[in-house]
Amino acid sequence: MKMANNSVSPGENFQQEGPTLTFSQLNYVIQETRCCRKIGPEKHILKNVSGIMRPGVNAIMGATGSGKTSLLDVIAGRKNPAGLRQGRVMVNGKVVTSKLGISSGYVVQDDVLMGTFSVRENLLFSANLRLNPSLYSNMDKQAKVNEIIKELGLEDCANTKIGTEFLRGVSGGERKRCSIGMELVTSPSLLFLDEPTTGLDSNTANSIISQLHNLSRKGTTVIFSIHQPRYSIFKLFDQLTLMHKGEMVYSGPANYALEYFANLGYHIDQFNNPADFLMDITNGQVTSSVMEFEKQHYADGQNTLATRYQQSHIYQHVLQELDQMNQSNFVKGQAKSGGYATSFFYQLHVVCRRTILNMLRNPQTSYAQMSVNIVFGILSGLIYYQIPLTLPEAIQNRTGAFFFLIMNMVFANLSAVEIFINERAIFIHENSSGYYRTSVYFLSKIFADLLPNRLIPITAFSAIAYYMMGLNPGIKYFACFALTMVLTSLAAVSVAFLVSASVSLFAIANLFVALPFVFMMVFGGFLVDLNSMLSWLSWIKWFSIFKYGLDAAFINEFEGQNFISNGSVIPGVVFLERQGLDSSAWGFWQNQVALLGIITVCMFLSYVQLRRINRWK
Ligand SMILES: Nc1ncnc2c1ncn2[C@@H]1O[C@H](COP(=O)(O)OP(=O)(O)OP(=O)(O)O)[C@@H](O)[C@H]1O
């Protein structure tokens, strides 16, 4: 048998060769888990897989569910290492840890880009966060981005927005090229791509793979999984790995694959596409007399193609090479692993800037927030317009008004529950690719999204409602009232944040956030007299945002104000005493401290939950 030539197509010259990635005896299992407990048997999705990804274009092909994405993810360090029962991945003879993901490039299948940003802005975002500022000046970063734009043929759409659900942006192929560019910013010597042509028409797919081919000639080893490519794409592959049911059925030069299978009795029709033909072989849609004969000798269910490959010269040659590398070339230590290229404050600056720009360019939510607060402020003001000081309506109307206001502050923040759910994919990708720390993302949401989106509308709401209702005059009282509204609102937001960081499904998150709000309302001390009813549950009031908000609003309003009943004057503190409320300064401020406590605890837990989000594929 003619031995395979392991180099790339003849005549193809590399300006620079990329690294060689080797992997030996990879065994990867998954097991279904329910409520943190493993249930059911382990499923082997990679079975004793060994191979070499050489400089050039390395394609991993196979039917759906064959394990091609799993193989790509394991060698790229993106799959949960807990499932790796055995095996080792090395780059140029150095053992690789799961952190390889940070020092190489990984392009995910579903492009995760900021839709309100142009192609150039997205690339610059990546450059700003992933290039060390002490090594690259702003000019250098701009030059790098321009170079990538030119290299990927993105000149015509460089200043076009990527696009959102409301904004038509660049085409699918341009999005994919931009996603590739985001990774090229760091000049990775290894580039992994998960099905880069899925969802693209054949011409666009062709141009993407051609560009990857060009990159591979300039020192980047390109490795990707791919579904049935057309012939012009197949021709660009240097190395081909064919997977079937978690095992390799071929791994070697792409231009030798047809000859290898011809030796097994599979002959391609004259006008058939080799990629289609190879997939038909693995799917069992093409038969070979040699293999039919062999099948009868193997145990039932045994993957005959995989067994045959393991016995082949080409595989023995790979094993020999792996052995040699392990013995002679093995360098103790690890391939370059991650860390962040930029400091915490620099990241915070860049990410906050993007969050603010994104908010300004996609202002629907901010406008809605502002309008709802103004309308509610006017509505509350009209319903409780200039509440008199005469009893009993003075107390009845104030009590109703405060309950209405606090309820609005709490329930108007249900929308905050979507904050980490909407951006979960982009956060996971950017965080695991080393763009920024989790704390940076979290703080950017607080400083650049939450505070402006809540503080300004709530202050407007408070001013409108307060003066229309004719509440306790004096700027100090208004300031304390506005502070109470802001803290009540932020406490509700922090509960929503906690749910948002813990649950990935919007429908479930909505339920989980509405439930505690309803409980807090019932046990806030306004709807139920907790001394006579449900006394065994009365401890819940200590966790109620309603209780603290209402108590603070009452104290602020009744303290220092006199009311009139049948011609006599009754100080507001009398009413406060009857309600069991402490009218002293501490009586008021203890509620603010409690609200701040709820905010701090929920925000801290949200951050912990964000850190705990599963980043593995
Ligand atoms: N995290 C996981 N949890 C459960 N099953 C998994 C997981 N990862 C992979 N699998 C299973 O392993 C098998 C191989 O999956 P993989 O995604 O690698 O296949 P694939 O060849 O890339 O298929 P496709 O082309 O459809 O993406 C499938 O049966 C898949 O359901």
Q: ipTM value of the model?
A: 0.96
Q: How many angstroms separate the CA atoms of 588 and 157, rounded?
A: 57
Residue from 490, 488, 385, 477 nearest 445 by CA: 490
Q: How many angstroms separate the CA atoms of 531 and 224, rounded?
A: 67
Mean pLDDT per 10-residue segment, the chain (617 residues) = 45 79 93 70 90 96 93 91 87 70 79 94 96 93 95 94 89 94 93 92 91 93 93 95 95 95 89 92 78 61 79 93 72 53 95 94 87 92 91 88 92 87 91 93 91 89 93 91 94 95 89 89 75 72 91 91 85 86 88 96 96 84
pLDDT value for 284: 82
pLDDT value for 297: 62
Which residue is associated with the tokens 């070697």?
252
pLDDT value for 232: 93
- Taking CA atoms, 164 is separated from 107, 149, 427, in Å, by 20, 21, 17
Inter-residue contact 482 to 459 (CB < 8 Å): yes
Q: How many angstroms separate the CA atoms of 353 and 122, rounded?
A: 13
Q: Which helix (H) or strand (E) holds 360?
A: helix 344-361
Residue bearing the CA closest to ligand 1, atom 5: 30
Ligand 1 pocket test: pick from 66, 73, 80, 192 the residue with the most ligand atoms within 8 Å of its Cβ: 66
pLDDT value for 70: 95
Residues with CB under 6 A from ligand 1: 30, 45, 62, 64-70, 225
Q: How many angstroms separate the CA atoms of 222 and 19, rounded?
A: 10
| Partner residues linked to 193 by β-bridges | 107, 224
Q: 355-365: buried (b, 16+ CB within 10 Å) or exposed (e) per residue?
A: beebbeebeee
pLDDT value for 10: 43
Atom of ligand 1 nearest to the CA of 80: 1
Domain limits, CATH 3.40.50.300, in the chain: 21-104+191-211+221-328
pLDDT value for 615: 77
Distance 312 CA to ligand 1 centre (A): 27
CA count, 13 A, side-chain hemisphere, 318 = 27
Residue from 529, 449, 450, 432 nearest 486 by CA: 450
Atom of ligand 1 nearest to the CA of 66: 21
Atom of ligand 1 nearest to the CA of 45: 12
pLDDT value for 296: 62
Other C-beta atoms within 10 Å of 385: how many?
A: 11
Q: How many angstroms separate the CA atoms of 373 and 377, rounded?
A: 6
Radius of gyration of the chain (CA): 32
Say which amino acid occupies 364: Q
Q: How many angstroms separate the CA atoms of 183 and 130, rounded?
A: 9
Atom of ligand 1 nearest to the CA of 72: 18
Q: Give 432's contacts (C-beta < 8 A, 6+ positions apart).
A: 78, 101, 102, 615
Residue bearing the CA closest to ligand 1, atom 2: 30
Distance 303 CA to ligand 1 centre (A): 18
Residue from 44, 120, 111 nearest 83 by CA: 44
For the chain, the distance separating the N- and C-terminal CA atoms, rounded to the nearest angstrom, is 40
- 8-state DSSP, 533: S
Span 21-104+191-211+221-328 CATH architecture: 3-Layer(aba) Sandwich (3.40)
- 93 Ramachandran zone, left/alpha/beta (phi>0; psi -120 to 50): left
* Secondary structure (DSSP) of 431-496: HHTTSS-HHHHHHHHIIIIIHHHHHHHHHHHHHHHHHHHT-S-SHHHHHHHHHHHHHHHHHHHHHH
Say which amino acid occupies 341: A
Inter-residue contact 216 to 57 (CB < 8 Å): yes
Atom of ligand 1 nearest to the CA of 83: 1
Q: How many angstroms separate the CA atoms of 138 and 222, rounded?
A: 28
Structure tokens at 27: 């065994």
pLDDT value for 7: 45
pLDDT value for 172: 92
